[in-house]
Structure 1
């Protein structure tokens, strides 16, 4: 049984001869670049700088050799631009604050603030305000909230929809090339097409945009899910409309080459509870998740993947009702998990 067949069988809830393994196919199943280097050393692999495949969390790339040794059953497809709005290309060496030499994209450009923290710039443009900060003793970046002042009566859905648009021919060509690269693979293909995460708090502040508008402050966004539900629904409704149309266009070129779509990484759990109650989730999020999941299940063979940190046991029934096939609840030490 190939890795692809193994995961397909598991997702059909059929008995398999082993547990499927995914490390590195998505931004929520990755491993820090420091640990990836340690794994390479442990397995006696060539000592070389590890590529930072996802710079926001400083996740390391699993090359084919390491993936084979670890028995990884997946291969991931990711958007052209990363969390800071620039492509992972034209690699260069970079010395991390913890003393590791890694490979980072050409536009991975940092400066230091007065406390010795690293500052990261959206699209690699130092003329724009920095959008993320890595404290001196940290191992990953934290978002810098860049909330512009606003008047309540002037808030519009369009401001928070600036980053969501219909897929361009250039982007379709990018996905076509990515799909061609994995043609014939015996691993399960996990794709993150982007644009389908509803209110993901890692994305709301838009660290990939130079001058984001709308509600970008984390506290304001969470308050909006209670105080401005009509506004949030309008954002989700339009975002879902765009997402479904984009999925249609991608499916036209990808077909059944994709096994799993990473649809959403919005966290609904804290260490001890949930960010919202079940009724709020079912009213505010579920209808839009269901529209995306329903289209996928009615028109493709793809399975859908939902990530959430925290204590989400009370919401699992609702995740199922929303149509998700896979739940990635990584915080197993949270209450009830």
Structure 2
């Protein structure tokens, strides 16, 4: 039997594994709702606990080590020097019950207030404006998705000189490097033999100022976007040069960006625009990280119907793509596997979280999980998890069935011909 880390690393190198490697919550958008998590803990026969919520916008639970053990998941996550799912640091977590709906722990209870109708409001962050969760909702959202309708044709642009100065002033200090490396070391030790995904060197490219606004800038003012991405990539490279040599002994995978390039039916930007305005910058950052630590694998999260830009993602130098939303855009799992085989690790795609997981029976979930393992695993290059987050209404029996089914596919069947629905 392989250890968890050996299993992940073999898959990332397109080598055979004893079973498919599995993940839950290493990447924050293929995790589980904080509302569903207590029921999963109970169904697994584990002690009750307050649910930790690091991402209080998506309301995603921090998955504890005993849950990872029970589901036989092979990877853990480290978010800079701020949080890691296997470190329990009680001083960082404080009770908040979301107006009596959820017994939870959050980093900062003062960020919330309850409105007269029971809506919970969360104050603005650097990533979003004021967000609200009505009494019948399970996530926070912004009015108009944060993008008020504006047909004036005027696109909002940043002051690039000021942005450059701010990013230079935010350079990582030697003390921060030391703290982050030590934090990664502690997480690795606490995680046992699991692989470690590090989220702390993001390029932050894409859709600044809102999806509509930024898309229009890509089409009408590509020179501005090119200049913006140059500044952001310069900053990411500087951060990588400071952090990667220090954390590399303790981590295996580095999350570099989450820019969601797809809708349900197509890419958001024309593929040639993505290739021009994103691929070269990702290539520069990936090349620098691979030069600093050749053993590390780089991870890219992009939702939706992005099959038409898979070649551009590969050309950008990424090793891993998540969440593998093969259900969007008319290209099935077999096409995704053929396009990626031997060149890009697919991390996700295991169960359709929009139809089969919420609408199907536990048996149907089991069946699809097994089909996707057989589809994606031949030749290695696959890590199993669902397509995006497991939402609040999902019964724990389905979650348990999904992982049990994925793990049960015999090794000998992983390296023959793929069977795809």
TM-score, with length taken from structure 1: 0.83
Q: Structure 1 CA distance, aligned partners of 2:310 and 2:5?
A: 26
Matched position secondary structure for 1:256: coil
Residue aligning to 2:49: 48
What are the residue-to-residue correspondences of 1:1-337 with 2, within 5 Å?
Answer: 1-80=2-81, 90-96=92-98, 99-113=101-115, 116-122=118-124, 131-143=130-142, 145=146, 155-158=158-161, 164=167, 165-184=170-189, 185-199=192-206, 201=207, 204=208, 216-300=209-293, 301-335=295-329, 336-337=331-332
Q: Structure 2 CA distance, aligned partners of 1:245 and 1:188?
A: 25
- CA shift, 1:64, in A, is 1.4
Residue aligning to 1:211: none
After superposition, the Cα gap between the structure-2 partners of 1:153 and 1:62, relative to the gap in structure 1 and judged at 3 Å, is closer
- CA shift, 1:23, in A, is 0.8
- CA shift, 1:180, in A, is 2.4
Could you list the runs of 5+ residues in structure 2 that have no partner in the other structure? 84-88, 333-421
Deviations 1:137-160 (A, max 9, x none): 21111246489x998798532455
- CA shift, 1:81, in A, is 5.8
In the alignment of these two chains, the number of paired residues is: 314
Matched position secondary structure for 1:15: coil
- CA shift, 1:255, in A, is 2.7
Could you list the runs of 5+ residues in structure 1 that have no partner in the other structure? 205-215
Deviations 1:37-68 (A, max 9, x none): 11101111111211112211111111111111
Q: Identify which of structures 1 and 2 has the higher relative contact order when contacts are C-alpha pairs closer than 8 Å and 6+ apart.
A: 2
Q: Structure 2 CA distance, aligned partners of 1:130 and 1:287?
A: 31
Instruction: List, as ranges, runs of 4+ consecutive aligned residues in structure 1 with deviation greater than 6 Å.
Output: 149-154
Residue aligning to 1:210: none
- CA shift, 1:114, in A, is 6.0
After superposition, the Cα gap between the structure-2 partners of 1:156 and 1:79, relative to the gap in structure 1 and judged at 3 Å, is same
Contact 2:155 2:213 in 1 (8 A): no
After superposition, the Cα gap between the structure-2 partners of 1:66 and 1:329, relative to the gap in structure 1 and judged at 3 Å, is closer
Matched position secondary structure for 2:262: coil
Q: Structure 2 CA distance, aligned partners of 1:119 and 1:41?
A: 29
Q: Structure 2 CA distance, aligned partners of 1:270 and 1:262?
A: 22
Contact 1:80 1:88 in 2 (8 A): no
Q: Structure 1 CA distance, aligned partners of 2:116 and 2:70?
A: 43
Q: Structure 1 CA distance, aligned partners of 2:312 and 2:263?
A: 17
- CA shift, 1:244, in A, is 1.0
Q: Structure 1 CA distance, aligned partners of 2:138 and 2:165?
A: 30
Contact 2:196 2:252 in 1 (8 A): yes
Contact 1:74 1:187 in 2 (8 A): yes
Which range moves more in the overlay, 96-105 or 291-300? 96-105
The structure with the largest helix share of the pair is: 2
TM-score, with length taken from structure 2: 0.68
After superposition, the Cα gap between the structure-2 partners of 1:187 and 1:17, relative to the gap in structure 1 and judged at 3 Å, is same
Which range moves more in the overlay, 1-10 or 189-198? 189-198
Contact 2:81 2:184 in 1 (8 A): no
Q: Structure 2 CA distance, aligned partners of 1:26 and 1:158?
A: 32
After superposition, the Cα gap between the structure-2 partners of 1:103 and 1:46, relative to the gap in structure 1 and judged at 3 Å, is same
After superposition, the Cα gap between the structure-2 partners of 1:174 and 1:130, relative to the gap in structure 1 and judged at 3 Å, is same
After superposition, the Cα gap between the structure-2 partners of 1:81 and 1:189, relative to the gap in structure 1 and judged at 3 Å, is closer
Q: Structure 2 CA distance, aligned partners of 1:81 and 1:143?
A: 25
